Amino acid sequence: QVQLVESGGGLVQAGGSLRLSCAASGRTFSTYAMGWFRQAPGKEREFVAAISWSGSSTYYADSVKGRFTISRDNAKITVYLQMTSLKPEDTAVYYCAADPLRIGVRTNEYRYWGQGTQVTVSS
C-alpha cells in the first residue's frame, strides 16, 4: 500500500512559478513509476508528466513541455513538479499518482492517487 500526499499548490500570477511535492509512504516507493495529473472544473482529469522508477525516463503533455519538470528523490520518497511560466489555463487540482508496474500517461494506468492540491494562476 502506498499513500501519497501532495503539497505546494497555491495562487500565483501568470508567468510565475510553483513547485509541487508529492510525499509517499512505503518502502517500495523507489520501484514505482510516478505521474502528475490535473483536473480543471468541468473537465476530465488529464496527464501532465510522468517519471520512471529510476528517473531515467520522463514524459510530458504537449501543453506543459518546456515549462514543467518532473523529478524524484527516492531517498526522500518524494516526487516533484517544477512549474514555470504558468498560464491561467494551468489552473486545476493537481494529483500525484503511483504505479508499481509501468510508467503511463492514462489515469487507469496508475493504482494509487493522492488527494490533490489546488493551483490557481491569475491573469
Mean pLDDT, rounded, for 111-119: 97
For residue 87, the model assigns a pLDDT of 98
Percent residues over pLDDT 90 in the chain: 87
Contact 90, 61 (CB under 8 A): no
pLDDT tens digits, residue range 41-64?
999 999 999 999 999 999 999 999
Gap between the Cα atoms of 82 and 60, Å rounded = 12
Q: Report pLDDT for 31.
A: 87
DSSP string, 9-70: -EEEETT--EEEEEEE-STTGGGSEEEEEEE-TTS--EEEEEE-TTSS-EEE-TTTTTTEEE
- pLDDT, the chain, mean: 95
List pLDDT tens digits, range 21-33: 999 987 677 889 9
